[in-house]
């Protein structure tokens, strides 16, 4: 009897391996994600707004990288704990890194404009840069506190919101923001970018083998780098330039009270920061469901708590971009990664950010070569949204993709290099008799709050498909209220929250029409609920006869 008992309990006592071959693929993928976002932050703040490079690399980057270190270490521990508890050797840790949409938003909508405003007030570049850095710290603390408070509602939301809504909303974001946008960056240097993408699809999607026994992802990136610099140095790549070879000096991210000094400056930006934090909570819930669908059952509350803690640590220590669990956990599982890749990534990004290594690499690794792996992750997540939901809910998944398309277009149209801001404002308010609201207004309003919009749409449709009309009515009523306050369909072009009784003119009309539509549908679903309840109620005579 003792031998079978020993055989049954031994898998649970086995310590999971620290590293497997697939961890190297996952490491390169996760590092590339983080480096590409850091590269964008640097390009925006230094290249567009002219912020001093030593403040970005020496003050903002170390604390930001520390948040990645803390979060990945905690997720590594969670993955190893799950593997030990279940006796499985295929558990993949939750990947954590810098959030792309809100990092872009922080750079372009908060930090950059704040720095430009301080310079217009007469502050020298150094003083304006320090004040902007403190604003970034305070903004991260604000978002971290919000995420910490909301993390305890994660399990409840997972039980209430259907899988099609959770995966569909994040699938649309993945396809548009992680698939299409990086694809454009890939094609800006077609030889290197397209070649890298093709090789990555071969080794990851087609499960082909790289030559010489090399791991697939490093092989594809190495080929891309060689092509990029070979064609660039030969003069065959328009827009190529050799990076500055100066590497930043090491800088340790010590805790400081700089965020306290920057807190008053966050007040004008709260209408942006609070939705940023809320979106990360929603995203954390979605990625927990995504990992659960892939076979790794992490508790949603724990995933969100780690996200909140790492964001708070980064903010207190000088970071300016919030961390989040990445939506590509199943993609990393398909790469063969387990728990070693998050440990390697945390150490590389965290220590590299402090030693100046990350800042140096950001200058030398071209986005065209880094972006293809993000494209693969986006495609993988979009596919999973359909594969991991019931067939009758597929329409809800597809419906959830549509708001992300509007947000993608809004990102590009909001770029001053594409459309002049004054021209954009004019298009937003341009009324064409007989054609309803301005097309630009409809586009921007649909894109604002797109993840929450997608979740509400998909939840309502799933409820109707399942004949749960009361849930559909409640979801649509929530959408009506959320519209009035700009949580979804914000009538402010930047997506900021609004106070409904202060809205006038066109913006008030837009908010009223969207909210009115949801209110009508909520009433209609309520009527359906009463109708089906009445028709499905048992006949009193039949009930008494049965007794």
In sequence order, what DSSP letters do the residues of 348-383 get, joined into one string?
HHHHHHHHTHHHHHHHHS-HHHHHHHHHHHHHHHHH
Give 523-527 contacts, CB < 8 A, sequence gap 24+. 523/473, 525/460, 525/463, 525/464, 525/469, 525/470, 525/472, 525/473, 525/476, 526/469, 526/470, 526/473
Among 211, 164, 237, residue whose Cα is nearest residue 389: 164
pLDDT score of 245:
60
Angle at 167 between CA 161 and CA 168, to 5 degrees: 95
- Rounded to an integer, the average pLDDT of 373-387 is 84
Place of tokens 């790289």: 210
pLDDT for 340-369, tens place per residue?
A: 999 999 999 999 999 988 888 887 878 888
Segment among 26-30, 153-157, 238-242, 468-472 with least mean pLDDT: 153-157
The domain segmentation of the chain, as residue ranges, is: 14-241+254-387, 392-533
Is residue 410 over pLDDT 60?
yes
Segment among 36-45, 114-123, 499-508 with least mean pLDDT: 36-45
pTM: 0.75
- Rounded to an integer, the average pLDDT of 252-276 is 85
Please give the sequence-ordered ranges of beta strands (E in DSSP) within 169-326, or none if there are none.
Answer: 323-325
pLDDT for 493-527, tens place per residue?
A: 777 788 888 888 889 999 999 999 999 999 999 99
Segment among 136-145, 278-287, 518-527 with least mean pLDDT: 278-287
Structure token pair of residue 24? 């190297």
Mean pLDDT of all residues belonging to the chain:
86
Is residue 251 over pLDDT 80?
yes
Segment among 27-36, 245-254, 385-394, 449-458 with least mean pLDDT: 245-254
pLDDT score of 334:
84
Q: How confident is the model at residue 417 (pLDDT cuts 50, 70, 90)?
A: low
Q: How confident is the model at residue 536 (pLDDT cuts 50, 70, 90)?
A: low
- Rounded to an integer, the average pLDDT of 430-437 is 81
Q: How confident is the model at residue 269 (pLDDT cuts 50, 70, 90)?
A: confident
More confident residue, 59 or 281: 59
Structure token pair of residue 13? 């006592």
* SS3 category, 385: helix
More confident residue, 202 or 173: 202
DSSP secondary structure code for residue 15 in this structure: P
């Amino acid at each position: 009897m003792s031998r079978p008992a020993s055989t049954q309990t031994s898998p649970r006592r086995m310590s999971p391996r620290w590293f497997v071959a697939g961890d190297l693929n996952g490491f390169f993928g996760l590092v590339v994600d983080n480096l590409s976002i850091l590269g964008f932050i640097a390009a925006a703040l230094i290249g567009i707004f002219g912020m001093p490079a030593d403040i970005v690399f020496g003050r903002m980057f170390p604390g930001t990288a520390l948040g990645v270190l803390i979060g990945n270490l905690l997720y590594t521990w969670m993955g190893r704990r799950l593997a030990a508890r279940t006796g499985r050797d295929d558990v993949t840790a939750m990947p954590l890194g810098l959030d792309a949409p809100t990092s872009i938003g922080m750079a372009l909508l908060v930090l950059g404009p704040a720095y430009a405003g301080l310079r217009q007030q007469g502050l020298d570049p150094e003083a304006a840069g320090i004040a902007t850095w403190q604003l970034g710290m305070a903004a991260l603390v604000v978002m971290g506190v919000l995420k910490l408070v909301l993390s305890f509602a994660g399990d409840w939301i997972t039980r209430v919101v259907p899988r099609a809504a959770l995966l569909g909303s994040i699938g649309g974001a993945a396809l548009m923001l992680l698939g299409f946008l990086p694809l454009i960056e890939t094609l800006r240097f077609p030889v290197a970018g397209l070649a890298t993408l093709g090789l990555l699809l071969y080794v990851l999607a087609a499960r082909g083998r790289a030559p010489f026994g090399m791991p697939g992802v490093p092989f594809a990136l190495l080929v891309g780098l060689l092509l990029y610099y070979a064609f660039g140095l030969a003069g065959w790549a328009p827009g190529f330039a050799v990076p500055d070879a100066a590497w930043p000096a090491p800088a340790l991210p010590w805790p400081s009270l700089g965020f306290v000094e920057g807190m008053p400056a966050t007040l004008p930006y709260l209408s942006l920061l609070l939705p940023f934090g809320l979106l990360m909570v929603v995203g954390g819930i979605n990625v927990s469901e995504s990992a659960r669908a892939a076979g790794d059952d992490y508790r949603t509350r724990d995933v969100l708590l780690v996200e909140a803690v790492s964001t708070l640590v980064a903010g207190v220590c000088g970071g300016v971009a919030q961390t989040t669990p990445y939506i590509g956990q199943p993609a990393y599982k398909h790469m063969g990664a387990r728990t070693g890749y998050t440990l390697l990534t945390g150490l590389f990004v965290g220590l590299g950010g402090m030693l100046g290594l990350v800042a140096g690499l950001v200058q030398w690794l071209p986005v065209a070569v880094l972006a293809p792996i993000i494209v693969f992750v986006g495609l993988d997540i979009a596919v999973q949204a359909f594969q991991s939901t019931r067939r009758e809910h597929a329409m809800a998944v597809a419906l959830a993709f549509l708001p992300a398309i509007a947000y993608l277009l809004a990102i590009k149209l909001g770029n001053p290099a594409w459309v002049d801001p004054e021209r954009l404002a004019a298009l937003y308010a341009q009324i064409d008799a007989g054609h309803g609201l301005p097309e630009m207004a409809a586009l921007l309003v649909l894109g604002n709050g797109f993840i929450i919009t997608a979740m509400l749409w998909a939840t309502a449709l799933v409820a109707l498909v399942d004949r749960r009309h009361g849930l559909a009515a409640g979801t649509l009523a929530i959408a009506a209220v959320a519209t009035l306050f700009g949580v979804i369909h914000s009538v402010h072009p930047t997506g900021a929250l609004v106070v409904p009784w202060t809205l006038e003119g066109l913006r008030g009309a837009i908010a009223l029409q969207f909210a009115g539509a949801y209110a009508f549908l909520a009433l209609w679903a309520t009527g359906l609920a009463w109708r089906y309840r009445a028709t499905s109620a048992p006949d009193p005579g039949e009930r008494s006869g049965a007794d």
